[in-house]
Amino acid sequence: MRSRMKRLLTTRLLVLAGLVLFSGRVNALPIKTEILNPQKKVIGRANVYIDYVELLDPAGQPKGRVGFVKADGRFQLFVVRDGGKQEWVGRAANRRLYDTKGKLLALYDWTTFWVYVYTPEGEKLGQARCISFRGICAAGVASYLTGLLEPQ
């Protein structure tokens, strides 16, 4: 009985020590993905986190973010353009992307591994591989592919 208790205590201490040592070094986020045009050429990148997506140009320069914001007692997806100041430029809901005036810019959908973005007329704008957090990833990819994050 005593040796079993000693072994259990030793195991717990080793596990705790391992967690402390590796907790700052091992992190699965962000999930990095490439944004592809219809010809499957890389035209952008996305860093996907649990509740937001950072969108970058091919050189790694920030273009914008899509994230959850609690408004009117519910969570909504908002699109923000990076630049000299962060500027709210759109929102996403029900697999659709809108600008700030409510104009429909794109439709998006996803499968197990892929996100696809289309114009309201049905023309394919591009795709990205999103293996997790597909809804927010899809909204981010759609905002990048529509040009919503480009300076006005």
> What integer pLDDT is reported at residue 62 of this predicted model?
95
| CA-wise closest residue to 103 among 144, 139, 148 | 148
- Its pTM stands at 0.80
At residue 21 the predicted structure's pLDDT band, cuts being 50, 70 and 90, is: very low
Pick the more confident residue, 41 or 85: 41
For residue range 38-56, list pLDDT tens digits in order. 999 999 999 999 999 999 9
